[in-house]
């Protein structure tokens, strides 16, 4: 397979990043996925079922909304790709449906997932309920506390939520626990990874399932502006799945500027940050080689972000490559800047964004925009799950 | 002939390899534990380098790693502790760890420093075959270190043969597809080990994961060249106030 930005080489590398750094215990499962995922995903019956669910169950296509008052504030043209309007409230369901359908075709009977903000957990629990499959979601103890509404939703949907108590008790540790579960259950289980991270083929597979975001954006933008190509696409990056989906069909269009916004936490150099490309170095985390926040001794450090979905010390290998090659522009927004950007969107457009998506909005402040620019911003999710955090900030 | 080969030349059954975590239970107990293991009759020592995210390890070894890290253990510190260890420890020692800390230390520098202090081999469970063959294998070989691959009951016969061909020292047979420290039914394990034996591999086979006492050690050894004890020994040291005595007692029970 020839390598472009949209597809890694046959070993799963995007430039220097990717691969499948997994213990032998996972080899059979990962190899089975590597050898079958493309064939299954592009099989006609699969496409039909996937597309029908995206349309009638999720509610796609999601609108591309010209945010006029926000545009005016930035003296430009800002279109919001409304992933927040998906069933379950975020882009995560695009991937969850794809992987659960794929797992069924692999004959798997049990689904496991990790979750940070709980959106991927809720999406996976939802699809498992729809398909009548057992679902176990690993979630860091700290995230269980700060994303309580999503924990309740998962339980109501019949999933078992397993607290991850090791390390920083957030997304990284939930991912470790999910991987260990997979090692201990090698035959009947599929692991639905929620972002473009993990061993090959996950980064490519998840990017392809999320690529529906930019596929729709192209024709929607053409209808609205006469051109399929914006000047900028902006998205937040935790592991990077909404960004991968929003960028995907523009990756090989060099005139489109791709802007990824990471979580700076209390400030990039505060010691409490999750801005991986600024603070990290090349390393291996969760089965792929990428950029990782770590000590000199190679111990992965505990990140910080107000947003549970961005509180992760790595990024997917595609994004590491976009950063390394200069194809992507990487910015970061602090907790405070993001909360402010969320309130700003509420006030101007009547939309409460997820804290994760609020980072993308905060990134707008750092771009030099003018009236000729056409900016597509991926509003990856809605803010219902974050109301407690927002209310605390409003009182303060 | 290197030390690992020598062990298997002298003894081709019931070879006992014991895992311990560097810097555990105390930062500077590493050497004391290794000496105690040798005196108690361990044939090989697998020395674990602690890592924040040890995917292939179960709760007991993870916990020992967290303690070692909070004790301040690093790869650089470990090599300092091992500087003169060959004056007292003569059994083969294999370093076990994960790719990320080793890459961060510098892969070649790591191999060079390991060989210089007298380490015999490496186990890096998340170093994949492809990267081993294209990049890292040659560096490991350059410094004369053995590299031990893992196989599991899920590993196909063809792949077992490939990994056997790439391994030197011995082949590490994971008794079931699981993280370390898990209890599994040993009947199925025996069938699997018999299957491995029938493949007539180049390397001796040591069985790991779930070996914890005399009984499991002996049933694992029945169809292989020996076994590796990890979590059970780590647990035995958890609150140890006398490492030498507790190690002796533990190993004596296994070899009784
Ligand atoms: C709404 C929303 N956006 C973004 C993310 C971050 O994930 P990713 O970077 O994979 O899009 C999450 C993760 O939980 C999320 O819930």
**Residue of chain A with shortest Cα separation from B50:** A299
Q: Is residue B46 among the annotated active site residues?
A: yes
With cut-offs at 50, 70 and 90, classify the pLDDT of residue A167. Answer: confident
Which numbered atom of ligand 1 lies nearest the CA of A115? 14
Which CATH number applies to A59-90+211-395?
3.40.50.1100
Q: What percent of chain B shows pLDDT beyond 70?
A: 96
Q: How far is the CA of A118 from the centre of ligand 1 (A)?
A: 9
Judging by DSSP bridges, how do beta strands A232-236 and A189-192 pair with one another? Answer: unpaired
Nearest to B181 by CA among A211, A166, A180, A160: A180
pLDDT tens-digit profile of A316-365?
999 999 999 999 999 999 999 999 999 999 999 999 999 999 999 999 99
Residue A386 has pLDDT above 70, yes or no: yes
Asked, as a colleague might, if the bond just before A241 is cis with ω within 30 of 0, I would say no
Enter the tokens of residue A9.
């080489």
pLDDT tens-digit profile of B98-154?
999 999 999 999 999 999 999 999 999 999 999 999 999 999 999 999 999 999 999
CB B142 within 8 A of CB B110: no
With cut-offs at 50, 70 and 90, classify the pLDDT of residue B176. Answer: confident
Q: Which protein residues touch ligand 1 with a CB less than 6 Å away?
A: A 90, 92, 116-117, 119-120, 195, 236-242, 309-310, 354, 356-357, 380-381
Q: Mean pLDDT score of chain A, rounded to an integer?
A: 96
Contacts of B155 in chain A (CB under 8 A): 24, 27-28
B123 and chain A in contact, CB less than 8 A: no
Instruction: Region of A333 please: left (phi>0), alpha (psi -120 to 50) or beta.
Output: beta
Residue carrying structure tokens 């070649």: B108
In this predicted structure, what is the pLDDT of residue B180?
59
Residue A72 has pLDDT above 60, yes or no: yes
Rounded to the nearest angstrom, the gap between the alpha carbon of residue B32 and the centroid of all alpha carbons in its chain is 17
CB A183 within 8 A of CB A145: no
CB B111 within 8 A of CB A333: no
Residue A285 β-bridge partners: A288
Comparing CB atoms, the residue among B100, B127, B163 nearest residue A298 is B100
pLDDT tens-digit profile of B46-68?
999 999 999 999 889 999 999 99
In this predicted structure, what is the pLDDT of residue B183?
55
Cα distances (angstroms) measured from residue B148 to each of A64, A381, B202: 54, 46, 12
In this predicted structure, what is the pLDDT of residue A1?
44
DSSP string, A316-328: -HHHHHHHHHTSE
Strands of the sheet with A281-285, listed across from one edge: A13-14, A17-18, A288-292, A281-285
Residue B208 three-state SS: strand
Residue A56 has pLDDT above 80, yes or no: yes
* Cα separation, A125 vs B252, whole angstroms: 50
Contacts of B156 in chain A (CB under 8 A): 28
Length of chain B: 256
Contacts of B149 in chain A (CB under 8 A): 24
Q: Write down the ipTM of this complex.
A: 0.94
3-state secondary structure B129-171: HHHHHHHHHHHHHHCCCEECCEECCCCCHHHHHHHHHHCCCCE
| Residue B170, C-beta contacts closer than 8 angstroms, at least 6 positions apart | B4, B8, B148, B203, B204, B205, B206, B225
In chain A, where the domains are located: 14-53+92-206, 59-90+211-395
* Cα separation, A94 vs A205, whole angstroms: 12
A296 and chain B in contact, CB less than 8 A: yes
Q: How far is the CA of A278 from the centre of ligand 1 (A)?
A: 19
CB B58 within 8 A of CB B34: no
Residue B181 has pLDDT above 60, yes or no: no
Distance (Å) from the alpha carbon of A359 to chain B's nearest alpha carbon:
27
Across A70-74, average pLDDT: 98
With cut-offs at 50, 70 and 90, classify the pLDDT of residue A163. Answer: very high
Enter the tokens of residue B125.
């469970």
In this predicted structure, what is the pLDDT of residue B190?
84
Residue A255 three-state SS: coil
Across B159-169, average pLDDT: 98
3-state secondary structure B21-84: ECCCCCHHHHHHHHHHHHHHCCCEEEEECCCCCCCCCCHHHHHHHHHHHHCCCCHHHHHHHCCC
In this predicted structure, what is the pLDDT of residue A306?
95
CB A133 within 8 A of CB A111: yes
Which numbered atom of ligand 1 lies nearest the CA of A197? 10
A24 and chain B in contact, CB less than 8 A: yes
Distance (Å) from the alpha carbon of B55 to chain A's nearest alpha carbon:
6
Q: Which CATH class for the A14-53+92-206 domain?
A: alpha beta
Contact (CB<8Å) A297/B151: no
Residue pairs spanning A and B at CB distance below 8 A: 106
Judging by DSSP bridges, how do beta strands B93-96 and B121-123 pair with one another? Answer: parallel
Nearest to B196 by CA among B216, B171, B213: B171
In this predicted structure, what is the pLDDT of residue B178?
60
* Cα separation, A369 vs A191, whole angstroms: 41
Fold of B13-149+212-255: TIM Barrel (3.20.20)
In chain B, where the domains are located: 13-149+212-255
In this predicted structure, what is the pLDDT of residue B179?
61
Distance (Å) from the alpha carbon of B80 to chain A's nearest alpha carbon:
14
Enter the tokens of residue B92.
């083969």
* DSSP assigned state of A56: I
Comparing CB atoms, the residue among B98, B149, B179 nearest residue A184 is B179
| A119 CB-contact burial (10 Å; exposed 0-12 / middle 13-18 / buried 19+) | buried
Enter the tokens of residue A81.
């790709």
Contact (CB<8Å) A283/B100: yes
* Cα separation, B153 vs B43, whole angstroms: 25
pLDDT tens-digit profile of B185-216?
667 888 899 999 999 999 999 999 889 999 99
CB count, 10 Å around CB of A75?
10
CB B215 within 8 A of CB B5: no
Cα distances (angstroms) measured from residue B235 to each of A298, B64, B135: 26, 9, 36
Enter the tokens of residue A145.
């506390």
* Cα separation, A97 vs A115, whole angstroms: 15
Contacts of B162 in chain A (CB under 8 A): none
Rounded to the nearest angstrom, the gap between the alpha carbon of residue B211 and the centroid of all alpha carbons in its chain is 13
Judging by DSSP bridges, how do beta strands A77-82 and A64-66 pair with one another? Answer: antiparallel
Strands of the sheet with B93-96, listed across from one edge: B146-147, B121-123, B93-96, B44-48, B15-21, B226-229, B205-208, B171-174, B150-151
Residue carrying structure tokens 């020994």: B233
* Cα separation, A226 vs A204, whole angstroms: 30
Contacts of B124 in chain A (CB under 8 A): none
Across A188-208, average pLDDT: 98
Residue B182 has pLDDT above 90, yes or no: no
**Which residue's CA is the nearest one to ligand 1's atom 15?**
A309
With cut-offs at 50, 70 and 90, classify the pLDDT of residue A276. Answer: very high
Residue B151 β-bridge partners: B173
Enter the tokens of residue A315.
């990024």
pLDDT tens-digit profile of A82-123?
999 999 999 999 999 999 999 999 999 999 999 998 999 999
**Which residue's CA is the nearest one to ligand 1's atom 14?**
A309
pLDDT tens-digit profile of B8-38?
999 999 999 999 999 999 999 999 999 999 9
E strand segments, chain A: 13-14, 17-18, 64-66, 77-82, 110-115, 134-140, 160-164, 189-192, 232-236, 257-265, 281-285, 288-292, 328-334, 374-379
Selected residue of A16, A179, A284 to mutate for chain B interface (largest B Cβ count, 10 A) = A284
């Amino acid at each position: 397979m020839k390598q472009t930005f949209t597809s890694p080489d046959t070993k799963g590398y995007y430039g220097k990043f990717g691969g499948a750094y997994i213990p032998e215990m996972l080899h059979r499962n990962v190899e089975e996925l590597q050898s079958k995922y493309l064939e299954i995903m592009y099989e006609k019956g699969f496409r039909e079922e996937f597309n029908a669910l995206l349309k009638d169950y999720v509610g796609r296509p999601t609108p591309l909304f010209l945010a006029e008052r926000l545009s005016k504030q930035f003296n430009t043209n800002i279109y919001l790709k409304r992933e927040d309007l998906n069933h379950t409230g975020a882009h995560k369901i695009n991937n969850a449906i794809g992987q659960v359908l794929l797992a069924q075709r692999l004959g798997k009977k049990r689904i496991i997932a990790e979750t940070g903000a709980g959106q991927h957990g809720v999406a996976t629990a939802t699809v498992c309920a729809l398909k009548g499959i057992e679902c176990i979601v690993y979630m860091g103890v700290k995230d269980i506390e700060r994303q309580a509404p999503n924990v309740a939703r998962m339980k109501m949907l019949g999933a078992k939520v397993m607290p991850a108590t090791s390390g920083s008790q957030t997304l990284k540790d939930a991912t470790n626990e999910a991987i260990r579960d997979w090692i201990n259950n090698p035959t009947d289980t599929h692991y639905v990874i929620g972002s473009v991270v993990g061993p090959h083929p996950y980064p490519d597979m998840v990017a392809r399932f999320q690529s529906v975001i930019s596929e729709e954006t192209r024709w929607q933008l053409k209808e609205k502006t006469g051109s399929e190509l914006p000047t900028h696409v902006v998205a937040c990056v935790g592991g990077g799945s909404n960004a991968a989906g929003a960028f995907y069909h523009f990756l090989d269009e060099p005139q489109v500027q791709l802007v990824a916004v990471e979580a700076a936490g209390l400030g990039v150099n505060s010691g409490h940050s999750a801005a991986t490309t600024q603070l990290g170095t090349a390393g291996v985390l969760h089965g792929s080689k990428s950029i990782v926040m770590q000590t000199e001794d190679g111990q992965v450090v505990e990140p910080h972000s107000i947003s549970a979905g961005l509180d992760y010390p790595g990024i997917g290998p595609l994004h590491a490559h976009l950063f390394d090659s200069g194809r992507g522009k990487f910015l970061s927004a602090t907790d405070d800047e993001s909360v402010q950007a969320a309130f700003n969107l509420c006030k101007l457009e009547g939309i409460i964004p997820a804290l994760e998506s609020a980072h993308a909005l905060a990134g707008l402040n750092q771009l030099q925009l003018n009236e000729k620019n056409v900016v597509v911003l991926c509003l990856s999710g809605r803010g219902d799950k974050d109301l407690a955090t927002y209310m605390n900030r409003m009182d303060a | 002939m290197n030390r690992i080969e020598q062990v298997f030349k002298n003894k081709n059954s019931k070879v006992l390899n014991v895992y311990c975590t560097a810097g555990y239970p105390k930062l500077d107990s590493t050497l004391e534990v290794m000496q105690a293991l040798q005196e108690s009759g361990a044939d090989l020592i697998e020395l674990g380098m602690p890592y924040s995210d040890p995917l292939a390890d179960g709760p007991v070894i993870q916990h020992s790693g967290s303690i070692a890290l909070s004790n301040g253990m690093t790869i650089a510190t470990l090599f300092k502790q091992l500087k003169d260890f060959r004056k007292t420890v003569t059994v083969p020692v294999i370093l076990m760890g994960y790719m990320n800390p080793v890459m961060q230390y510098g892969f070649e520098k790591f191999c060079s420093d390991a060989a210089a202090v007298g380490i015999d081999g490496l186990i890096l469970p998340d170093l994949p075959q492809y990267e081993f063959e294209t990049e890292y294998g040659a560096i490991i070989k350059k410094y004369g270190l053995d590299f031990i691959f893992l196989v599991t009951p899920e590993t196909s016969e063809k792949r077992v043969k490939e990994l056997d061909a790439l391994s030197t020292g011995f082949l590490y047979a994971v008794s079931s597809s699981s993280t370390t420290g898990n209890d599994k039914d040993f009947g199925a394990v025996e069938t699997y080990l018999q299957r491995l034996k029938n493949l007539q591999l180049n390397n001796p086979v040591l069985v790991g994961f779930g070996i914890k006492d005399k009984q499991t050690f002996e049933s694992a050894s029945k169809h292989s060249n020996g076994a590796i004890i990890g979590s059970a020994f780590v647990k035995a040291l958890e609150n140890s106030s006398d490492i030498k005595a507790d190690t002796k007692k533990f190993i004596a029970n296994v070899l009784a």
